[in-house]
Amino acid sequence: MNHITTLLTPRLLSFKNAKNGGKGKLIVFGALGVAFWGGLFVVSLRVLNYFQSIEELGNILSWKLMSMTLVIYFSLLIFSSLLNALSTLYLSKDLLLVHSTPAPGYQIFFARWIESAADSSWMIIIYTLPVLISYGIIYDGGTFYYFLIAWTLLLLSVIASIISAVVVMVAVVVMPPGRVRSIFVLLGLMLFLMLYLAFRLVRPERLVDPEAFETVLSYLSILKTPSSPFLPTSWAYDALYATLNGFARDGFLDLMLLFTCAGAMISLAVIIADAIYVKGVSKSQTARKPLLKPGNVKNARVLAFLSRPAQAYVVKEIKTFFRDQTQWSQIFLILALIVIYIYNFKVLPLDKSPIKTVYLQNILSFLNMGLASFVLTAVTGRFAYPAVSIEGEAFWLVRSAPIKIRTFLWIKFFIYFIPLLILTELLIVATNLMLDVETFMMVLSVITILFIVPAVVSLGVGLGAAYPDFNAENAAQAITSFGGLMFMMVAAIYITVVIVLEASPVYHIYMSGVFNRDLPLARWVWIIGSFALAAGVSILAVIYPMKYGEKKLSGKILDTSVVNI
């Protein structure tokens, strides 16, 4: 036990000593976190209140919602713990140091598992709390209920993370060395995609259209969630359900089931760890093999129009991107997101709408510009924002190379701008074709996106350069930093400004077409002014973030300089 607390000390001390950039960041992050929590709480309360107003069906829906919440909570925990356990148990940078100490393997495992369990579940616990607290308020839960919530969520996260840790330990021993990470990334991705598609294919939009169902039973049957007397989520649900219905003793018994299950799982995991953990660590030290074989070193002819340094970075960026399997999972996720995005437009019940279809098509098409831009922001945040951070500790190569930081940043910009422009234009054209919009809206959408994409990419690359994290183990995490948050906020404001500036002119042009009226000259001047302003804002949004990023990055020194004098 001594070793376990000692092994956890560096993490605790690092957390205590961390300088997270001062009060400003803390306030921004804290305020956003509290706002999101509060929002979730209000929405949960309103939904439950609404359910209460529906006779008979309301209660059933409330309990179904709780059951679904717990199943989703547990699935998310399993997914998050799988990847977290793999990196904490087998891929951490300090692993060799820890294993060179006289601490027994199972104790190292236990300390690492505590870290992994805490990392993978704290946020999910915090954001599940408002939903369950709402039940306590609506159903007058009493003190024991709130005590029960805390223990239920904690024990479910313990069980989920220990299951994941055991799966990871066994997999590392069974799978060929060097392939472990790749296989897990693909497995995790498949699991996530299955959940995502399963949810999507249930077609939740049907739930708001009860006419589509012949009976209440058939309506409820689509809400079915997995329930079995052997599932920890069932015990958790039964415990909360019983307590809220005045049977606290039954609730306590179910809680005890969770306790004993968690205790037994931990004991079993420690026994397994004692047998195979160290063996797995030794196996995982083998060099990783790429899934794609490296090809020749000649630059492709299509790049010939670029300068040599630009060619160098384009080739480097593409090769490192496709050889990093963690990137693949992101690409698959984005592809799934796009398929679902387009599919949503396909199933829109436009003909059932009481609003005139042509009018609705064009409103949707206009809103679609904003939606597609938000998708673009998410993709940019994942790929273009970390573009500078992914140079990592090899950033010294950029600093010592005979190219300007400005050139380096613009190369990065174009590497991401071109594919993102193609992607977003395809998205907007495909959805507009499905909506069967008029030519004016199609042209407007294509041109607006042509302005928005470079601005958002510039915001991503520029702010990514201004707030780089060269020590991040995973580039995907860069977007969760302060700079990432800034990027998301600024991009959202920029997109809103452009859409708002275009909204009114588009409305007047469209209405003049519908009523076959000519617009007065003053209106035209105002319309042109609005479009010009939107274009001006976009041009500024391309230039300024890149300049800002260049200035901040040029002024930065490698983090190690301070200690490594």
Partner 1 sequence: MIELRNVVKRYDNIHAVNGLSLSVPRGAIFGFIGPNGAGKTTTIKMLGGLIQPDRGEVFIKGISMKTEPEKAKQIIGFIPDRPYLYEKLTGMEFLKFIVDLYGMKEARFKEKAEAVLERFSLLDWRHELIEAYSHGMRQRLIMAAAILHEPEILIVDEPMVGLDPAGIKMVKTLFKELADTGVSFFISTHTLSIAQDLCDQIGIIRRGRLIAKGTLNDLQVHAGATSGDLEDVFLKLTQEESLGQIYYGDMDGK
Summarize as ranges the residues that interact with partner 1 (CB under 8 A). Answer: 287-288, 290, 294, 297, 299, 307-309, 311-313, 315-316, 319-320, 323-324, 392-394, 396-397, 399-404, 557-558, 560-562, 564-565
Cα within 13 Å of Cα(235), Cβ side: 20
CB 80 within 8 A of CB 168: no
Minimum CB distance to partner 1, residue 232 (Å): 39
**CA-CA distances (angstroms) from residue 304 to 301, 359, 421, 427?**
5, 48, 21, 29
Got the DSSP string for 213-235?
-SSHHHHHHTT-----TT-HHHH
Minimum CB distance to partner 1, residue 2 (Å): 31
Minimum CB distance to partner 1, residue 402 (Å): 4
Q: Which amino acid is at 372?
A: A
Minimum CB distance to partner 1, residue 352 (Å): 51
CB 239 within 8 A of CB 149: no
Distance CA 417, CA 305 (A): 17
Minimum CB distance to partner 1, residue 564 (Å): 5
**CA-CA distances (angstroms) from residue 540 to 291, 454, 486, 546?**
42, 11, 17, 10
Minimum CB distance to partner 1, residue 280 (Å): 20
Minimum CB distance to partner 1, residue 398 (Å): 9
Cα within 13 Å of Cα(220), Cβ side: 12
Write the DSSP symbol of residue 87: I
Distance CA 319, CA 332 (A): 18
Q: Which residues contact 101 (CB under 8 A, 6 or more apart)?
A: 3
Cα 350 versus chain centre, distance? 30
CB 247 within 8 A of CB 276: no
**Which of 319/523 has CB closer to partner 1?**
319
Within 10 angstroms of residue 385's Cβ, the number of other Cβ atoms is 31
Minimum CB distance to partner 1, residue 299 (Å): 7
CB 82 within 8 A of CB 164: yes
